[in-house]
C-alpha cells in the first residue's frame, strides 16, 4: 500500500530563541525538516503535505522549488487541529504517515516497520521507552498489552505518570479514520488543545486495534526544542555518518573530528585526518589522503590524490595522483588533471591545469588554461582582472614560467616557451621562445644608505 505523508511544522519553537523557524535550523548542513522529507521520500512517493504556521513564509521561501502541498495552520490549537487543517489534501483510502518537522533522525527502516504494522487495522503508533518520560504523552495498555489510549503528561494520574513508554507522536493512520475522527475531536483537557492522540481512544472505541511499534533508538525519535538539543542531534548524526564512512573502508583518524555536511561518497583506503569538513556533494576516490584542517565542498577528488593540511577546495575536480597544499586554495570551476601539484599559498580559480603541471609556491592562477607539464614558478600572478572584466591566460604544454612573473591577460604563451624570472608578459608568445622583460641590473659602488642621527 502506498502512503500519504503529513509533516507538522507549525510550532513556534520559542526555546530556540531564534528568528529562524525551528525546522529550518540545520544539522549536518541540512534543515531539520529536510531530513524528515528525505526519510519520508524513501518510503512514500506521494507529495508531502506540510502544515506550517509560525515562520511559514520563511519555510515556503526555503523550499519554494520542492514538490510540497503547503497548508497553513493559523493558530496552533494542538496536533489534532494541525492535521485537521491538512484533511482536504489527505486521501481517504490510504495510510497517512504523520511526521514532525523537528524530529530529524528517524530512519526510513523504522518508518517502513510502522507502515507495515499499520496495514492490518489501519493504525500504528511509534513508541519508545524513556528513563525520564516527563512531559510526554504516555502509552496506556490493557492487561493483554494492547494499546487503549494515550494520556498527555498534564492530564495523567499519578499512576499513569509512572508509565515509561511514551508516544513519539509519529503514527500511520488510515486517512478514512482521520476524516472521521478529527472533526469530532474536543479540547476539554488540561491544555485546551485538540489532541491528535485522542484518535487512539476513538479507534479502540470502534474496536480498531492500534498496533505499537518500538523505535530503534531514543535518538531517532528525539525532537529539537532548543540549541543544546540541536547540537546533541548534530553529534549523533555525525557519529552515524562517520560510522558509515568507516564501514565503507575509510580510515578516520578521529571519527569525532570529522564533519559531514552533505552527500559524501568516499573510496576504500582513503585516510582522513582530524578537523576536516566535507560539505555539499563530495566524491572522493580510493587511496586519497586528506590532511588535518581541510575544507572540501562540492568537489571530486580522484584516486591516490594527497591533500595536505589546511587546504580549501571548493567546486573543483581534481585528477588522480595530484598533490594539493598544505595551505592551498582551490576555488570553483577549477579542473586539475592527473599528477598536478598545487603547493602552499597557491590560489587557483576557474582554471584548468592539465596532467603533470605544477605551481608549487605562492601563486595566483585565475581564468587560465594551462597545458601539460607546465612549471609555474613561485610568485607568478595571472593579472586576469582589469577592474571591469576578467580575461583569460593560456599557457601551452611544456612551458616554464620563471618566478615572479606577471601574465597580463588576455595573453597566450606558446608551447615549450620559457619566461624568465621577473618578467611581465603583456604580449602573446610564440612556441619555443625565451621572453625576458627584466630591467637591466645596475650596480652603484660607494652607495650610502640614509641614516637616522644617533640619540644619546
Using CA atoms, how far apart are residues 198 and 283, in angstroms rounded to an integer?
48
Residue 73: contacted member of Ca ion, ligand UD1, none (CB under 5 to 8 Å, by partner type): ligand UD1
Least Cα distance to 48 among 33, 29, 28, 26 occurs for: 33
Q: How far is the CB of 225 from ligand UD1 (least distance, A)?
A: 7
Q: Where are the beta strands (DSSP E) in 73-146?
A: 95-100, 123-129, 138-141
Q: How far is the CB of 412 from Ca ion (least distance, A)?
A: 20
Residue 76: contacted member of Ca ion, ligand UD1, none (CB under 5 to 8 Å, by partner type): ligand UD1
Among 54, 153, 179, 361, the active-site one is 361
Task: Number of residues interacting with ligand UD1: please give it, by CB under 6 A.
Answer: 27
Site membership for ligand UD1, residue 279 (CB under 6 A): no
The C-alpha cell that represents 281 in the structure block: 556533494
Binders in 51-90 for ligand UD1, by CB under 6 A: 51, 73, 76-79, 81-82
Binders in 222-261 for ligand UD1, by CB under 6 A: 223
CA distances from 229 to 98, 104, 153, 191 (A): 22, 12, 21, 24
Least Cα distance to 176 among 269, 69, 93 occurs for: 93
- 336 φ, ψ to 5°? -110, 135
Cβ-based nearer residue to Ca ion, 165 or 404:
404
Using CA atoms, how far apart are residues 442 and 453, in angstroms rounded to an integer?
29
Give the strand pairing for 123-129 and 165-174: antiparallel
Q: How far is the CB of 191 from ligand UD1 (least distance, A)?
A: 8
Q: How far is the CB of 405 from Ca ion (least distance, A)?
A: 8
Cβ-based nearer residue to ligand UD1, 77 or 260:
77
Using CA atoms, how far apart are residues 286 and 180, in angstroms rounded to an integer?
56
Residue 81: contacted member of ligand UD1, Ca ion, none (CB under 5 to 8 Å, by partner type): ligand UD1
Whether 361 sits among the annotated catalytic residues: the reply is yes
Within 10 angstroms of residue 132's Cβ, the number of other Cβ atoms is 8
Angle at 401 (CA atoms; ends 400, 405), nearest 5 degrees: 170
Residue 197: contacted member of ligand UD1, Ca ion, none (CB under 5 to 8 Å, by partner type): ligand UD1
> Quick check: helix, strand or coil at residue 429?
strand
Cβ-based nearer residue to Ca ion, 310 or 403:
403
By the 10 Å C-beta count (0-12 exposed, 13-18 middle, 19+ buried), 420 is classed as middle
Binders in 168-207 for ligand UD1, by CB under 6 A: 168-169, 195-197
Using CA atoms, how far apart are residues 273 and 318, in angstroms rounded to an integer?
19
Binders in 396-425 for Ca ion, by CB under 5 A: 404, 422
Site membership for ligand UD1, residue 10 (CB under 6 A): yes
Cβ-based nearer residue to ligand UD1, 77 or 353:
77
Binding residues for Ca ion, per CB under 5 A? 404, 422
Binding residues for ligand UD1, per CB under 6 A? 8-11, 51, 73, 76-79, 81-82, 100-102, 136-137, 150, 152, 166-169, 195-197, 223
Residues annotated as part of the active site:
361
Amino acid at each position: 500500500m502506498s502512503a500519504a505523508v503529513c509533516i507538522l511544522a507549525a510550532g513556534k519553537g520559542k526555546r530556540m530563541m531564534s528568528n529562524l523557524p525551528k525546522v529550518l535550523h540545520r544539522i549536518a548542513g541540512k534543515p531539520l525538516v529536510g531530513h524528515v522529507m528525505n526519510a519520508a521520500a524513501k518510503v512514500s512517493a506521494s507529495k508531502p503535505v506540510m502544515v506550517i504556521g509560525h515562520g511559514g513564509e520563511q519555510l515556503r521561501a526555503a523550499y519554494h522549488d520542492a514538490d510540497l502541498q503547503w497548508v497553513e495552520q493559523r493558530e496552533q490549537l494542538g496536533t489534532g487541529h494541525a492535521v485537521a487543517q491538512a484533511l482536504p489534501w489527505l486521501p481517504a483510502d490510504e495510510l497517512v504517515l504523520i511526521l514532525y518537522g523537528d524530529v530529524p533522525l528517524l530512519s526510513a527502516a523504522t518508518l517502513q516497520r510502522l507502515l507495515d504494522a499499520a496495514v492490518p487495522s489501519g493504525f500504528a503508533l511509534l513508541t519508545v521507552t524513556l528513563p525520564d518520560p516527563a512531559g510526554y504523552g504516555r502509552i496506556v495498555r490493557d492487561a493483554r498489552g494492547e494499546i487503549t489510549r494515550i494520556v498527555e503528561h498534564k492530564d495523567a494520574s499519578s499512576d499513569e505518570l509512572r508509565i515509561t513508554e511514551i508516544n513519539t507522536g509519529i503514527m500511520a493512520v488510515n486517512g478514512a479514520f482521520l476524516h472521521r475522527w478529527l472533526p469530532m475531536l474536543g479540547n476539554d483537557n488540561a491544555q485546551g488543545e485538540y489532541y491528535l492522540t485522542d484518535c487512539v481512544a476513538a479507534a479502540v472505541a470502534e474496536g480498531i486495534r492500534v498496533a505499537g511499534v518500538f523505535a530503534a533508538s531514543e535518538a531517532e525519535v528525539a525532537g529539537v526544542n532548543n540549541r543544546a538539543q540541536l547540537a546533541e542531534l548534530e553529534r549523533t548524526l555525525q557519529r552515524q555518518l562517520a560510522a558509515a564512512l568507516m564501514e565503507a573502508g575509510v580510515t578516520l583518524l578521529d571519527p569525532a573530528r570529522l564533519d559531514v555536511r552533505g552527500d559524501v561518497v568516499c573510496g576504500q583506503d582513503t585516510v582522513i585526518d582530524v578537523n576536516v569538513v566535507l560539505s555539499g556533494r563530495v566524491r572522493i576516490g580510493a587511496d586519497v589522503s586528506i590532511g588535518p584542517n581541510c575544507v572540501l565542498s562540492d568537489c571530486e577528488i580522484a584516486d591516490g590524490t594527497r591533500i595536505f593540511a589546511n587546504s580549501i577546495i571548493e567546486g573543483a575536480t581534481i585528477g588522480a595522483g595530484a598533490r594539493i597544499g598544505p595551505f592551498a586554495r582551490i576555488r570553483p570551476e577549477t579542473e586539475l588533471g592527473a599528477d598536478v601539484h598545487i603547493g602552499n599559498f597557491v590560489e587557483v580559480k576557474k582554471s584548468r591545469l592539465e596532467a603533470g603541471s605544477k605551481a608549487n609556491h605562492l601563486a595566483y592562477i585565475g581564468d587560465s588554461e594551462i597545458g601539460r607539464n607546465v612549471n609555474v614558478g613561485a610568485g607568478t600572478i595571472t593579472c586576469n582582472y582589469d577592474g571591469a572584466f576578467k580575461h583569460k591566460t593560456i599557457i601551452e604544454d611544456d612551458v616554464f614560467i620563471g618566478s615572479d612573473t606577471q601574465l597580463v591577460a588576455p595573453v597566450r604563451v606558446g608551447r615549450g616557451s620559457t619566461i624568465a624570472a621577473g618578467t611581465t608578459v603583456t604580449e602573446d608568445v610564440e612556441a619555443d621562445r625565451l621572453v625576458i622583460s627584466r630591467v637591466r641590473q645596475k650596480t652603484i659602488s660607494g652607495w650610502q644608505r640614509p641614516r637616522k642621527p644617533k640619540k644619546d
